[in-house]
Amino acid sequence: MPELPEVQALVDFLAERTAGLAITKVEIASFNVLKTFDPPPQALEGSPVDSVTRHGKFLDVDADGTHLIFHLARAGWLRWSEKLPTTVVRPGKSPIALRVRLSDGSGFDLTEAGTKKSLAAYLVRSPADVPGIARLGPDPLGDAFTRAEFGRLLQGRRTQIKGLLRDQEVIAGVGNAYSDEILHVAKISPFAIAGSLAPDVVDRLYAALRDTLAGAVRAASGKPAAELKDAKRAGMRVHGRTGQTCPECGDLVREVSFADTSLQYCATCQTGGKPLADRRMSRLLK
């Protein structure tokens, strides 16, 4: 799933390539992808692209006041083409869910792999009309996201810090991968209770959150959309690296598995050398 750094890179990529262009057509190839009905896709035809921005993990293409907003979810992606084929995309014939054609013949497809479809697109007059955006917490790279503000977000929270970092209504843009990375940099257990963290630990976590995301944004900046997934994987310290060596201490990276996801961590760096319980693996070993 693309998170804040990759989404920001896609925003920059699209903004550069759509500057001075207009949308000529939006083709819907999946009946489930478009979550709104007013305005219709035809409202974008002939509209100049004014800006491309980000709200958490949502991408927002503003075309003369009508916003095409999309969330790539777990298996969605954006595929750019300097010259789109002239044939109309047909429902069910490819992984393409939505196609946007631009006035110079270029454009992009929103694609989704697999059978579990959660890619979502919205056509709205205001980003606030998208429920997921209206509920978003603060952007962790925004100027208003201070150490004091972060501390207030943690106060009284009895949830595990891993889950809190991923909660889009608390902090916008962080997902499974970067929450693993942030907690490894901060040397905090993913199971630590958010509201119980000591002030110096919150200091470390705040610095790790901002530095990790800012570094990932810099690393992704300027890369074509087609290269962002591989670049993200290559830049991970612990996420997706179960059984490999921790770059910090040399211990093995460990994993905790859940029903449909997993987390990675270093016991030496984050949990005082004690492995975390992996209930799914424990059941398999019985």
Predicted confidence (pLDDT) at residue 149 exceeds the cutoff of 60: yes
Predicted confidence (pLDDT) at residue 54 exceeds the cutoff of 50: yes
Predicted confidence at residue 278, as pLDDT, reads 80
Q: Give yes or no for a contact between 161 and 188, defined as CB atoms under 8 angstroms apart.
A: yes
> Taking the domains of the chain in order of start, what are their residue ranges?
4-134, 147-285
Predicted confidence (pLDDT) at residue 283 exceeds the cutoff of 80: no
What φ, ψ does residue 12 adopt, rounded to 5°?
-65, -40
**pLDDT band, residue 245 (cuts 50/70/90):** very high
Angstrom distance (rounded) from CA 54 to CA 7: 7
Angstrom distance (rounded) from CA 152 to CA 186: 19
Residue labelled with tokens 């109309």: 88
In a 13 Å sphere around the CA of 32, the CA atoms on its Cβ side amount to: 10
Q: What is the mean pLDDT of residues 110-119?
A: 86
CATH number of 147-285: 1.10.8.50
Predicted confidence at residue 279, as pLDDT, reads 63
Q: What is the mean pLDDT of residues 268-274?
A: 97
- The packing angle between helices 199-220 and 147-154, to 10°, is 120
Predicted confidence at residue 116, as pLDDT, reads 76
Predicted confidence (pLDDT) at residue 286 exceeds the cutoff of 60: no
Q: What is the pLDDT of residues 168-187, one digit of tens each?
A: 999 999 999 999 999 999 99
Q: What is the mean pLDDT of residues 192-209?
A: 98
Q: What is the pLDDT of residues 202-215, one digit of tens each?
A: 999 999 999 999 99
State which CATH number among 3.40.605.10, 3.40.630.30, 3.20.190.10, 3.40.309.10 fits the domain covering 4-134. 3.20.190.10
Predicted confidence at residue 284, as pLDDT, reads 34
Give the rounded percent of residues in the chain with a pLDDT score beyond 70.
Answer: 97
What φ, ψ does residue 217 adopt, rounded to 5°?
-65, -45
Q: What is the mean pLDDT of residues 114-120?
A: 83
Give the rounded percent of residues in the chain with a pLDDT score beyond 90.
Answer: 88
Token readout for 32 is 């489930």
Angstrom distance (rounded) from CA 36 to CA 130: 9
- pTM of the predicted model as reported, rounded to 2 decimal places: 0.93
DSSP state of 271: S
Predicted confidence at residue 282, as pLDDT, reads 43
Token readout for 267 is 């016991």
Q: Give yes or no for a contact between 105 and 119, defined as CB atoms under 8 angstroms apart.
A: no
Q: Give yes or no for a contact between 228 and 6, defined as CB atoms under 8 angstroms apart.
A: yes
Predicted confidence at residue 94, as pLDDT, reads 84
Q: DSSP H helical segments within the chain, as ranges? A: 4-18, 131-134, 147-154, 161-166, 176-186, 199-220, 228-234, 267-270, 279-285
Q: Give yes or no for a contact between 208 and 185, defined as CB atoms under 8 angstroms apart.
A: yes
